[in-house]
Amino acid sequence: MYIIIAGAGLVGGNLARKLVESRHDVIVIDQVKEKCDQLYAEIGAVTVHGNINNLSTLKEAGIDKAEVVVAATGKDSDNLAFVVMARSFDVPHIIARMRNEQYERAYREAGVDKLLRVTDLLVDQMMIDINNPNAERIATIGGGEADIYKVIIPERARIAGHTIQDIASFDEFPGGTLFLAKTEANTQKFEISYGKQEVNPGDELFFVSKNVNVRKMIRILTRKVKEKRKR
């Protein structure tokens, strides 16, 4: 996945490290040359020294082919301007870090897909958002020990055609996880989970899980059947 991160600070730098380890194509933009040089030396990430809100800088970073952009600077005004620029290039998924909640409406109107408040800002959460655009955290409960998630079941999902009860009986199904509800794709009918509901592409499944098991649960729900190669 081709990902551009605006900001090579603590958040942007740590996120870049995680993404490089996951073999994504990562480009980091920062106007402080020393930060760019340090990040390149440490993890080998491609860096662009320049203003994140300068058109030529964004083109140099390959904004026209970006699949995900992350606004991770420490200033909401810079992040917001970057989001607007990215949206003008029709970037499919835009994630932004928000420090001041007074900017929330502006971020939403600018077209941010995922907005992370600085108090919620964990690199692992950002990794989930980038790698799983079909998953959305609804709430954190239990003093931060568990999360409620909504996952949209993709086309060719391996679990398609199985019931919720079937999925919960998989050997790999993580402990401390419970299905809560389902919204049917065709009718938009919302139902509390009772086990015998069949799951199909486009359906929304809601579950609660200890946060250490969230990634595993999302993988189970979103992994796809491999397409057969044509001979």
Sort residue 139 into left (φ over 0), alpha (ψ -120 to 50) or beta. Answer: beta
What's the mean per-residue pLDDT of the chain? 89
Which amino acid is located at 140 in the chain? T
> Do residues 127 and 155 share a domain?
no
- Containing structural domain, residue 166: 135-222
Q: What is the pLDDT of residues 171-194, one digit of tens each?
A: 999 988 999 999 999 899 999 988
> Do residues 169 and 95 share a domain?
no
Identify the CATH number of the domain in which residue 178 sits: 3.30.70.1450
The whole-number pLDDT of residue 143 equals: 65
- Name the band, by pLDDT with cuts 50, 70 and 90, for residue 227: low
Q: What is the pLDDT of residues 129-148, one digit of tens each?
A: 777 777 888 887 876 678 89
| Overall number of domains in the chain | 2
Read off the pTM: 0.60
> Do residues 195 and 172 share a domain?
yes
Which long-range CB contacts under 8 A does 84-88 form with residues at least 24 apart? 84/110, 84/111, 85/53, 85/55, 85/58, 86/4, 86/58, 87/111
Domain boundary among 75, 106, 131: 131
Domain boundary among 107, 131, 155: 131
